[in-house]
Each structure stands twice: as structure tokens, then as C-alpha cells.
Amino acid sequence: MLFLHLFFSTLWIGGMIYSLLFLKPSLRELPQEEQRRKLLRSVFSRFFSAVFVSIFVLFLTGMSLWHGYRKDFNANTLFHLKLFLFALMTFIFLYIYFFLYRRGRYSHIPNLIGINLLLGVLIMLIITYIR
């Protein structure tokens, strides 16, 4: 359970780091706007499918870990802050997917991925502090 939780949190957060630090700067080397859009559409369609799976697996494994092994988190405020941040990350992702990506508005996506990355790192800081 913990392995699946760690693997899919790494997939989501790692994918956001890749998008912002490696993919975005490299896009500028493609001369035409249409080429850049085509590559983004291809990368995002795969990454966003993986994020949907990550959200599902993180929620399921997280609930199992919580109610199966870490009932001590019931009264832990920081843990509930982690859950709130996860919900916020999920809503931001759903906005990115349905209101930006599906409508071809790619230019706004990196900023929101940046916010979600900060929230994900904050979650990892919280859990390593309270576990």
C-alpha cells in the first residue's frame, strides 16, 4: 500500500517538475507555434491520464493507510491540512484539464502546474514531519 502511495505521488510530482523544468524551456527550440502546440497536446494527453490514475490511487491507498494503520492521524491537524491540500490540488488539476487543456488554452497551464507543484511539495513536507 505504501509503495503504491509513494509511487503515484512520485509520478504526479515528478511529472510536474518535468513539465516545468525540462519540457517548457525546451519547447522554445521548436520554431513554429503549431509544432509546440502539437507536442504539448501529445505530452499532456499522456501525463494528464496518469494524473487521473494517481489521484484515484493516492485517495484509495491514503484512506486505507489512514484507517488501516494510522488512526492516530484522526486528531492530527497537519494531516487534515494534507487532505485539504490534496483536495485543492485535485480541483486545480480538474480546472486545468476541463477548462484549459480540453479548450486548447495551453499558455495558462504552466502557472497552475507551478501552484500544484508547490502544494505537492508542501504535502510531502507535512507527511515527512508528522509520520
Q: Which of 57, 70, 81, 114 binds ligand HEM (CB under 6 A)?
A: 70
Q: Which of 17, 20, 57, 66 binds ligand HEM (CB under 6 A)?
A: 66
Rule CB under 6 A: say whether 78 interacts with ligand HEM. no
Residue 96 burial class via C-beta count within 10 angstroms: exposed 0-12, middle 13-18, buried 19 and up? buried
Using CB under 6 A as the binding rule, the residues of this chain from 15 to 54 that contact ligand HEM are: none
Report CA 127 to chain centroid distance, whole Å.
16
Sign of the CA dihedral running 94, 97, 98, 99: positive
Cα(31)–Cα(59) distance, integer angstroms: 41
Rule CB under 6 A: say whether 63 interacts with ligand HEM. yes
Q: Which residues bind ligand HEM (CB under 6 A)?
A: 2, 5-6, 9, 12, 58-59, 62-63, 65-66, 69-70, 73, 83, 86, 89, 120, 123-124, 127, 131
